[in-house]
Structure 1
Amino acid sequence: MQFRDQIPIYLQIADIICENILLKQWLPEQRIPSIRDFATQLIVNPNTIVRTYEFLEQKRIIMNQRGIGFSITKDGYKLVLEYKKEDFIKKDLPHFFRQLYLLDLDIHTLEDDFNKFCENYNK
């Protein structure tokens, strides 16, 4: 797996988990890979996965059940959606708006392109 230098690896892994939840590949109350298994799968240090799981546990997206392992919380999908929306609005949208402004693009001209993207993404 290729990681980007600008963002801590544990946050990039958290994004992978969040995307799996948003795509409904990982469902509420479903077990997720163990720390060791996920570290092996992603070829990272297990401590990095521990940090990722702690981060998501603090956000109540996952929970640790003693003797069973980690799983998605009942409200995991809703919490991921809230977290990712807030993150997008704070981090990505300002850059996007700046590019629209610099390139003198009207946001309404992108509506058709966005709709086409959504159609193709859902196929």
Structure 2
Amino acid sequence: MAIVLVVDDSSTMREIVASFLRQNGFEVAVATDGRDGLLQLRSDPGIRLVISDVNMPNMDGLTMADKIRNELGNKDVRIVMLTTEDNPAMRDRGKTIGVTGWIVKPFRGEAVLGPFRKFCGMT
């Protein structure tokens, strides 16, 4: 059962984030875009945290977040955007959708370990 789902179209970024999380005791699944992320969420009810890029082909991260909240009706999973986007309007859209957090790349894992563990019920 996966606890954290990392969604990014960059294989390098997926691996950096997933490896860091695994090294720190998280179970991790990965997805290549928002569409793949939704499929993962439908098949694994154990996912507690989604860490997603915003700009991806097929389905972007904010559209995926909207579908998680509205189509899947999943209000419990935490959604954190990990992106180069620092646009206030985009952040506001994310907040309206139900995005839990917004991290601007580069990824600094140590800074988010505490909140991520809390989101996953590891504390």
TM-score (ref. length: structure 1): 0.30
Structure with the higher fraction of residues in helix conformation: 1
User: Which has the higher Rg, Structure 1 or Structure 2?
Assistant: 1
